[in-house]
């Protein structure tokens, strides 16, 4: 199976660091996506990990462990505009999405 699990909601403070976890059953995925989706808008691509390890892109980093079926998205120096849903998706030629984690950034 390819179930994807991520926490439903998280809250963090402006300027802080937050880690959003994603777990999945290990068979079938070539890599893992992270998307950001603001309320009422379309998802936008953040990252794609195909190899184990951490990939950094500005304030956002994404980590993948294929053997453990585990990924996380790390957001540093949180800003109010980072309040959004963050979707984890497995790539098997076509994408399978988790239900998303709604992050609320408070002043």
Instruction: Please give the C-alpha separations between residue 91 and each of 16, 29, 43, 54, in angstroms, as whole numbers.
Output: 30, 5, 16, 18
Shortest Å distance, C-beta 69 to another protein = 17
Does residue number 60 form part of the binding site for another protein (CB under 8 A)?
Answer: no
One residue of 48, 60, 65, 70 binding another protein per CB under 8 A: 48
Q: How many CB atoms lie under 10 A from the CB of residue 46? A: 17
Shortest Å distance, C-beta 46 to another protein = 10
Shortest Å distance, C-beta 50 to another protein = 8
d(CA 78, CA 82): 7
d(CA 97, CA 79): 25
DSSP state of 69: T
Does residue number 5 form part of the binding site for another protein (CB under 8 A)?
Answer: no
Residue 69 or 100 with smaller CB distance to another protein: 100
Binding site for another protein (CB under 8 A): 4, 8, 31, 33, 41-45, 48, 50, 87, 89, 91, 94-100
């Amino acid at each position: 199976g390819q179930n994807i699990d991520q926490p439903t909601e998280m809250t963090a403070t402006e300027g802080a660091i937050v880690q959003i976890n994603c777990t999945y059953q290990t068979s079938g995925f070539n890599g893992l996506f992270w998307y950001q989706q603001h309320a009422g808008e379309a998802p936008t691509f953040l990252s794609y990990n195909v190899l184990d390890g951490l990939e950094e892109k500005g304030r956002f980093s994404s980590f993948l462990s294929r053997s453990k079926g585990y990924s996380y998205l790390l957001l540093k120096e949180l800003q109010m505009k980072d309040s959004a849903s963050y979707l984890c998706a497995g790539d098997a030629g076509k994408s399978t999405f988790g239900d998303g984690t709604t992050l609320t950034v408070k002043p």
